[in-house]
Structure 1
């Protein structure tokens, strides 16, 4: 049974609330943070919320300023290791609780929710998660260090010849996407190992990058070790060229996908596999949680659910659960779905519906952009059933709960799971040991969860898409007499 026709509904006793808070007086001014401190330009970019209201103006630095800033980063020396670790811990606490750039943490969270469309509860949780990752950066990055290498050339072991873990460069350019504040929790690991960092914030959600850079500066890294350089695409290219390494996920970074100096964040395409003999009802909570945690906006949210057997009963159950979620503006404490400007939501709706042609729609097949009447629209969940585990729709990556359910057979082998960030595989017993081993050995499966573990599960110190330290560092033999 399909559950179409549920767009805009809410569970009994939980009515939709669509009364937005009035905007604060005047836009927030987001200054660039250069080698001599804050830098405000006449060339500014408007930052709008999901209703189209301008909530901030972000200063854009010219190429000449950016080039000078990069030279200053190259000229600076890293803090000593112990000071780096202490500064990261201080920065995490400032980010989580402090007033930075005139914004309290509550005001920062409100602005992030308004411009990203993420529910306010998701932003509050992301603030804590990001702070935890920053605080653990020094310890976490050491997890990537080979067991045979020491962290410092002054280690006494070097006197008898030893591998030393050293930087591949000195300056990292960061271009992090604005889909979720949590994406900023990883790049401070570069500061932990002594890099100086230039951050180009997302124009969609620049507040997290701005707040984190201010926190790091106040904590002790200083203006010549971490900078915020909002800029045009042309100047962003210059940042990549002038840096030793670059990291991120926006369109600028993707143009350098074949450059070994550039680490490009890739789509998640996270999946769940239930093999024969598994009672899917026992794992329905985990599957739904994998779809809706973080409002379905992250690369770790499940995209494809594959079942060894008939996928229809599970598809119907997932759709029934997701249909009950309410359409609410992002500032509502009960909101759990993302919101976009109505025009963007309609464009995304067309993209998904076009891609779903030929699939069986259990939810959202006639549309999922639920307009709130203020210029914004909730992206309601979508569930489609596919005929094959090799269907191209399983590679779709969209920033809301969108689940493709498909049958899987032993004849399909592990091909459907290639190029997957997180794969949760729930098996019925030892007979699937060879399958699990094959998935563990598959190089394009970045993370494997064996058993009923949500795809979004993570903790500091574990790799996300490999360790960032694997990209930042290398080992070299050092002999010292």
Structure 2
């Protein structure tokens, strides 16, 4: 039986879809061609950004209404010939993200579009107004204004959910240029197309697939940029105030002495394995005040019971990757884990599927201490380092974390002074006290700060 033609993923430029000559094949985890992604040249990127700079944003109420319509189109309609069901199954098949996780991420994106106001305006200073014509400017008031007009997004490919964030920029009146990941281009393609169908102009939001050589043009041609990547990307843009980097999360859980940690085991396992352990908010280390071995054994027993299934299966819980990439990740893990005690995954984490590709099985390693920095390794599957910790190590040992979860019986903090230190630590973005998974999020509260803190500024206007 002949294979279907690869699905065309065209660039979505300021004058509509654009079929390029330079096309890259997108394969699934078994190596089968699924789509062809058109890569645009440098000149096309430059001209697209010029068009976005020249465009006038929709009035605020029309922007919000269009975002709400886009949520329905994205989640329910056929977009560029692809039904929603076909979209979610294609994403799972190509990216290896478990199907339930793809579906949940799509819900998160649609919710963000519907509730963009809550996220975007969460950063609004209490003393500022949104419009210089507000009556309060007659006697002098702060007015919240954009720091630029065009935002470039160098998108993540590990998960669809981060696409929920940049919708807030559209709500604030920015025009947005998205460079999709070649690993998972289907979500941004569908989302940009849905936004255009819902009322945003072709020169308000564009999809610009490029190769790495052209990617820099996108970032330098925009006013501000949102970039996803690893530690190398964080270091590259650390000193640039116009680039916001979303790097590794390194979320952690702290099990304090005296805690009935078995009562919180479900939450710890959920923190580690939710969405296949592929998100920056998944816990990658559990710090234990006391003997870490019982905690490690319990985690290994629970995580080891997760099934190995194709990513498109309705009951899939673990990620799937091409076999060569899975083997490379396995080698990296086992090399990194030298000197630790393996409770799960010590003999390897690759489970080959008969149809092609391989499931990445969970891993649990107990470290002898903090000194080896084993716990800083963040990998795209449920992999957790169980680390001994004591009060002398302090809150600083838990730093460089997107989330630190501190389970507490009856929600009562184990130590107010410790929580004070965690909240005060500038390298810890969020602190969850009680029985809350590290992946807990709400549209009205910051994820890694509010995006609006980066996109906007306050200036004084007086007109009396």
Instruction: State the SS of the aligned residue for 2:248.
Output: coil
Alignment check: 8 A CA contact 1:349 1:369 kept: yes
Deviation, structure 1 residue 170: 0.5
Tell me the equivalent position of 1:195. 174
Deviation, structure 1 residue 374: 3.4
Alignment of 1:418 onto 2:399: yes
Instruction: State the SS of the aligned residue for 1:294.
Output: helix
Tell me the equivalent position of 1:340. 321
Structure 2 distance, partners of 1:351, 1:433, is: 39
The equivalent position to 1:301 in structure 2, one of 282, 286, 289, is 282
Instruction: State the SS of the aligned residue for 1:412.
Output: coil
Deviation, structure 1 residue 199: 0.4
Instruction: State the SS of the aligned residue for 1:314.
Output: helix
After superposition, where does 1:44-59 map in structure 2 within 5 Å? 44-59=23-38
Alignment check: 8 A CA contact 1:151 1:166 kept: yes
Alignment of 1:135 onto 2:123: no
**So what's the TM-score if we normalise by structure 2?**
0.97
Structure 1 distance, partners of 2:209, 2:413, is: 53
Tell me the equivalent position of 2:22. 43
Instruction: State the SS of the aligned residue for 1:113.
Output: helix
Alignment of 1:178 onto 2:157: yes
Structure 1 distance, partners of 2:292, 2:413, is: 23
Cα separation, partners in 2 of 1:431 and 1:238, compared to 1, 3 Å: closer
Deviation, structure 1 residue 115: 0.9
List per-residue Cα deviations over 1:263-318 (Å, max 9, x = no partner).
11110000000111101110100000111111110000000001111110110010
Alignment of 1:120 onto 2:99: yes
Tell me the equivalent position of 2:366. 385
List per-residue Cα deviations over 1:335-354 (Å, max 9, x = no partner).
11000000000000011111
Alignment of 1:207 onto 2:217: no
Alignment of 1:145 onto 2:145: no
Tell me the equivalent position of 1:466. 449
Structure 2 portions without partners, runs of 5+: none
Tell me the equivalent position of 1:11. none
Alignment check: 8 A CA contact 2:399 2:425 kept: yes
Deviation, structure 1 residue 215: 0.8
After superposition, where does 1:38-437 map in structure 2 within 5 Å? 38-250=17-229, 254=234, 255-427=236-408, 432-437=415-420
Structure 1 portions without partners, runs of 5+: 1-21
Deviation, structure 1 residue 400: 0.4
Count of residues in correspondence between the two structures: 460
Deviation, structure 1 residue 430: 5.9
Structure 1 distance, partners of 2:322, 2:408, is: 41
Structure 2 distance, partners of 1:247, 1:34, is: 19
Deviation, structure 1 residue 23: 9.6
Structure 2 distance, partners of 1:108, 1:430, is: 44
Structure 2 distance, partners of 1:175, 1:296, is: 22
Question: Which shows bigger deviation, 424-433 or 122-131?
Answer: 424-433
Structure 1 distance, partners of 2:3, 2:15, is: 30
Following TM superposition, where does structure 1 have runs of at least 4 consecutive aligned residues deviating by more than 6 angstroms?
A: none
Alignment check: 8 A CA contact 1:27 1:56 kept: yes
Alignment of 1:453 onto 2:432: no
List per-residue Cα deviations over 1:132-189 (Å, max 9, x = no partner).
0121112321110110111111211111110000000010100111111101000011
Alignment check: 8 A CA contact 2:229 2:248 kept: no
Structure 1 distance, partners of 2:67, 2:423, is: 34
